[in-house]
Amino acid sequence: ARVGLNIPMDLIHVLETTTRVLPNISGTFGSSTSEACVQAALDACEIMNEKLDPFRLPGRTWQQIVNAANSQVPLIADGWFRGQNTPEYVYYIWSAGTCIADSR
C-alpha cells in the first residue's frame, strides 16, 4: 500500500483478517496467496489513486489530499486479483483488497 499510494509507511495500517470482513475466506495454500493479496491491494491502491489524483496538488500532504477529497468522492476502493490459469500453472485463487483513505 505504501508503494501503491506513494505515502510514508507510518500512514499505513493493516487490519487482522477476520471472517466478519471476509466471510468466505479459505485457507492459505502456500506463497501464491500472499502474492494474490498483494496484487489485490495494489489494484485497490490504483483505484484510490484515480479518485485522489484531482486533489493531489504540489505541496499538499496526504492528510490535506484526503480532506479535500472527502466530501467529493468515496474514499474506499476494492481491488481484485484472479490467480494464474495457464496449461503450465493452474491455481484457482481469488483475492480481494480494500483501500480506505483516512486523514488521521
Nearest to 81 by CA among 48, 32, 31: 32
- Which residues touch 100 (CB under 8 Å, ≥6 apart)? 75, 76, 77
Verdict on whether the full-model pTM lies above 0.75: no
Per-residue pLDDT of the chain (104 residues; tens, 9 = 90+): 777 888 888 888 776 766 555 555 555 556 666 677 777 788 888 988 999 999 999 999 988 999 999 889 988 888 877 666 556 555 555 555 666 666 66
Q: Return the pLDDT at 60.
A: 92
Q: Return the pLDDT at 30.
A: 60
